A and B are shown apart, each in its own frame.
Chain A
């Protein structure tokens, strides 16, 4: 049995590799190669090795600001999606008594994940705009007299759109991790006199750590690699690392775009590796 499976392991995995090699490994290597070349200014590439692209990135003050801005949005999005995701998952697992209802409510949370992200993003415009629902309602209630300007096309609306899109990436793995917690452990802790807070802190949190890490990987890598939410929802007020990269592509400066793509990929890889160090994700997924 074992010998037969060993031989078939690679046979079964080969179609996956036939996609990953040309469409993941090769493009990354091409980007890496292009980052050491020069642009001819017309979309062409001169294959003379140079470190010029990297030199420009690391000496430009703009780079630092771009990363600062992107990291700011990443941290805010991560924090809010974690808080919301954790408590929604906690509610579904520990407070909904019927398992069937819990699965139903869980699906209710996941349905928007399967619809268009761009549409979900622009759907905030009629709510947050100057003449949007929220400003109208607040003015009618007399809470404010002038429309709140910061609601749309601001850092605020960027974070709202991200949290709206990405909280599901926290809910699913945390829900999975929490659903595996043995309810008898919770009962035993209650019997031993633990408070509700103690149970969350000493049982639920440590046992859903893997789910939190998995969700964090998704949220961090998606926000770091995104540009259209920042571009549209900030109304052009905020820039992002990938946004700048995309502008380089727009003016056919492929080598400098490639160099900043390499730097970004390294940063994201380091972040993901740092998160992976806290847990064994493969064990978490495959068990």
Chain B
């Protein structure tokens, strides 16, 4: 006999509500179903009603955490449609701010992952370090989160020479912390016990269900848009694509932590090699009929845009496929066969744009009676 454990859709702890229906047999998960759309904002439709410049601000608000990668992909798509090339310096600034975004996103993820396995001190440490990245982002763009850096044809703010030493100092501190976390995640007994062989996604499944980003790389799929299809100036910078073979929660964590180190390397190179020059080209936004696709590597994986212009100032169609959406097809494989106690960390291991453990209702499938578990009770369950 199976029970249904609904998780969601009310998740005030993080911003995106979703609904998961877990079918469990005792402790074991036998099936999972997802219901999306609780925060569907109709942005694809809204993009068609505004002009290209206005849309930059709209795509920036698709995701609060990875807003720079959305505007970069969108602006690159529109630049391709219009046939313009942004100045070199603007491309370097885009890379710097993109990689700072990756560091911040991975540290945010890492902190919550530590919290999910009951390691709250590590959560505090990770978020303390995340503040350092946020400070650097504020220094460069004027904003901690929504950077408003990108515009069609380049960037809006320059990196000033007097900011460089602060950025480099910040990166040194971040590097020390990331190395410490990698060491900790490779040696701590509790972490290993909670994360190894949990929520495994095999390489075959990762490819079959088109997983992207750290999720695919942790399963041994060597995919990274930055090296497969270099955009901005990634072809001029040296970095490694981090992969692991195991496909479990541990591999997904280590991939992200080691990517922080690579991001730090990229920012250092970009700062050193950045040429002097203009940061923006003027673009006529009355773009003749044309179509293009554009990809970028967001912190959570490949972000995909399709854009179609029609000769006016407004796009005919803009299609956005976010990395979390791509990763949901493989979610069943990671849960089925696991236990209820693993739900929070496995769910968080795909780094979705939400978390789902602040309230759980249990339904007895025989009597139809519903009862609710609090977050505290759920925590107790998994210990």
A binds B: no
> Interface residues, chain B, CB within 8 Å of chain A?
none
